[in-house]
Structure 1
Amino acid sequence: MRGGTIILLFLCLLGTSLAMDCREVAGKLKQIDAGVGQVFGVANDNSIYTIYGRTWTHIPGALKHVTVGPAGVWGVNTDNQIFKLVGGVWVLVEGLLKQVDAGGDQFVAGVNMHDNVYCLGRDATVGYKGPGSPISWTGITGSLMYYSCGPNVCWGVNSANQIFFRKGVTPAACQGNDWQHIAGALVMIEVGTDGSVYGVNAGGDVFRRDGITATNPAGTDWILTSPCTKSKHVSYDLGHLWVITTDERILDCVV
């Protein structure tokens, strides 16, 4: 992983009105997550990094997926073990997940190797300091391969690339109460800490969910917002869309 400066600047014109100012960031990652002003990612060898200014800093440990948000910094390794970063140290969390998300209002959620969906309420999430801390994962009906949450909303995609919105999610009742099927097809989806929703389809195109409001959190339409290359992973925070391309280059796009 090369640390250092942003090395490329280009403008991506999409259709007749939408433009993205994207800069390529030094290094290569397979997955990235941004939240609460922080950015974390993992490389092909499962090494972990976070960015300070324009420099990547290596974090000890090995994870295949990392996430940062109001719930803290969490991750899972190649054995599907779950970890939380506490005082600069990765502490083991009871349970097994293949993907985890910390973007909820101080609750975490994720899916296991059988595509079962789980969440951990705010009290257990915030209070978790290591083995021995009270913990109780709540199962959620349904089957998903990727699940991501914002302040009080969660979105997911299943193995058929169908998209679903989870209704009634709160920090105390992170399981919500009902699924709403959303038209479209995506292979991964991410919810920003402000409720923004972005996803990637099987062709590597990036989409943003439009029309999201407090009264209509499911939004209305998907808007193509692809950068000038095919992508496989995205994450949004504070006006920046972080993109991992299919060849694992890192783009920082101002939205």
Structure 2
Amino acid sequence: MPISLLWAVDVHGRVYSLSTAGQQWDQCRNAQMEFKRVTAAQQCCWGIACDNSIYLNVHASDLPVRYQEETYENQRWNPVDGFSERLLPSDRWQWSDVSGLQHQPLDGFQLPSSSWEWEGDWFVDENFEGEPTEREGWTYAIDFPANYTKDKKWNSCVRRRHWLRYRRYKAMDMWAKIPSQQTTLPDPFNDISCGGWDISEEPRGRLSLWAVSLQGKVWFREGIYHHNPEGWSWEEVALPGEVVQISCGPGDLVWAVLWEGQFIVREGIGRDCPKGSSWTMVDSPSPDAGAIHVTVGANVVWAVTKDNKVWFRRGVNSHNPCGSGWIHMVGEMLMVNVGLNDQVWGISSEDRAVYFRQGVTPSELSGKTWKTISVPREGERSHSSASSLQRYSSVCRKNICLCCG
């Protein structure tokens, strides 16, 4: 079984991880800032620092993170100069994308952030449809746009060639700040949750990242996948109310808690629409105490109400993301988190220790009992583990996350 990690943030903003193959909580040493939220997937971990900046930690692997930039050089034949960059007013740009509609000069490409580096300079792609080209990579056609061929003919009035350049993501196993120009938002984030890796296998490493701002708005991060771990941009998602916390599972489950203590469930999530299409309201399990926290997995939803009681949602699945009813569970927690295989973790409201839900199986997803995790932090002796665990305020299983203030 592959090694997985339990991530945690203590009340001082320090990030720790506990490996299934380890015997202690290891502090993340390269983090020079304090964190208030973390959320993890198999290939990375996202976090909100106490200064409200967004950070990303990509786990190193044997497979490098590389991205191919491309542009096309276009030329037209004229009797005076032969093939040249002098194009007709109705033609495409001299440097363009494959469609010819977007201007893409070589010097217009910039690295997305300081976490990237160029592997080399621009070079001409001298292959066309699996065969080598002639004359320095040029392909020919009668006019723009048309079907191109690698052979020049008597009626070849235009030509183009494909230029390539690769950039590599270099900020491995370290917290890298997402540049402010990529997160120009009206108010900072207060909660964050990633998942969605089971929605679609393509593109490889695709993730869904959801965030909640201080004003109760919800945002979705577009374009996260293996070759683009930072994603492209944030898109605001319309809401029926103000949200305080959100949770995203590995599949199509996304639940959020409203300020009033009710839940909203995202509908319409699928391969072609990872951020879904609408919200459905679900009432709090307690008429006297509204919800303060929710966490979802592949087929489960757990919640905590203001009186620290823990609740399990019956009948949840892809066809019925809202489920059918609440069951009150024994124990009082500040927060709970669903991890791999719908396993459950929580932080006790009594001693702030991290607990594990025993007895969770595919046939009994609610489990049987809570058991404390009694392991020391790095540099502490085992007999001091109980006091050290009291100071945790956020836990996150690698591939799933839970966050609390």
Question: Normalising TM by the smaller chain, what interval?
Answer: 0.7 to 0.9
CA distance in structure 2 between the aligned counterparts of 1:195 and 1:152, rounded to whole angstroms: 7
CA distance in structure 1 between the aligned counterparts of 2:355 and 2:347, rounded to whole angstroms: 6
Bigger drift between 56-65 and 184-193 goes to 56-65
Contact 1:122 1:171 in 2 (8 A): no
Q: Tell me which residue corresponds to 1:4.
A: none
Q: Tell me which residue corresponds to 1:215.
A: 363
Q: Which has the larger radius of gyration?
A: 2
- Residue correspondences, number: 229
Q: Tell me which residue corresponds to 1:141.
A: 283
CA distance in structure 2 between the aligned counterparts of 1:100 and 1:8, rounded to whole angstroms: 21
Q: Which runs of 5+ in 2 are unaligned?
A: 1-13, 60-172, 197-206, 224-231, 285-289, 377-387
SS at 1:100's partner residue?
strand
* Partner AA of 2:24 in structure 1: D
Partner residue of 2:210 out of 53, 74, 77: 74
CA distance in structure 2 between the aligned counterparts of 1:125 and 1:199, rounded to whole angstroms: 31
Aligned pairs (5 A) from 1:58-73? 58-59=177-178, 60-61=182-183, 62-70=188-196, 72-73=208-209
Give the superposition deviation at 1:107.
2.5
Q: Which runs of 5+ in 1 are unaligned?
A: 1-6, 12-18, 247-255
- 1:167 equivalent to 2:314? Answer yes
Q: Tell me which residue corresponds to 1:237.
A: 398
Partner residue of 2:38 out of 32, 35, 58: 32
SS at 1:170's partner residue?
coil
**1:146-204 alpha-carbon deviations (Å, 9 max, x no partner):** 00000010101000000001111112321100111110000111112421111112232
CA distance in structure 1 between the aligned counterparts of 2:46 and 2:25, rounded to whole angstroms: 18
Partner residue of 1:111 out of 257, 261, 286: 257
- 1:57 equivalent to 2:63? Answer no
- TM-score normalised by structure 1 residue count: 0.80
* Partner AA of 2:295 in structure 1: S
Partner residue of 2:373 out of 210, 213, 225: 225
* Partner AA of 2:393 in structure 1: K
- 1:99 equivalent to 2:245? Answer yes
- TM-score normalised by structure 2 residue count: 0.51
Bigger drift between 22-31 and 152-161 goes to 22-31
Give the superposition deviation at 1:115.
1.3
Percent identity, aligned pairs only?
Answer: 23
Q: Tell me which residue corresponds to 1:85.
A: 221
CA distance in structure 2 between the aligned counterparts of 1:168 and 1:65, rounded to whole angstroms: 27
SS at 1:145's partner residue?
strand
CA distance in structure 2 between the aligned counterparts of 1:38 and 1:140, rounded to whole angstroms: 31
Give the superposition deviation at 1:35.
2.9
Q: 1:49 to 1:33 in 2, by over 3 A?
A: same
Q: Tell me which residue corresponds to 1:157.
A: 304
CA distance in structure 1 between the aligned counterparts of 2:16 and 2:208, rounded to whole angstroms: 31
Q: Tell me which residue corresponds to 2:325.
A: 178
Q: Tell me which residue corresponds to 2:336.
A: 189
More strand by share: 1
CA distance in structure 1 between the aligned counterparts of 2:57 and 2:50, rounded to whole angstroms: 17
SS at 1:194's partner residue?
helix
Q: 1:125 to 1:47 in 2, by over 3 A?
A: farther
**1:76-99 alpha-carbon deviations (Å, 9 max, x no partner):** 111111000012201000013111
Contact 1:164 1:180 in 2 (8 A): yes
**1:17-67 alpha-carbon deviations (Å, 9 max, x no partner):** xx7332100322111112344311111122111112320111243311111
Contact 2:335 2:404 in 1 (8 A): no
Please give the root-mean-square deviation of Cα atoms over the aligned residues, in Å: 3.1
* Partner AA of 2:397 in structure 1: Y
Contact 2:253 2:297 in 1 (8 A): no
Q: Tell me which residue corresponds to 2:23.
A: 20
Q: 1:206 to 1:108 in 2, by over 3 A?
A: same
SS at 1:218's partner residue?
coil
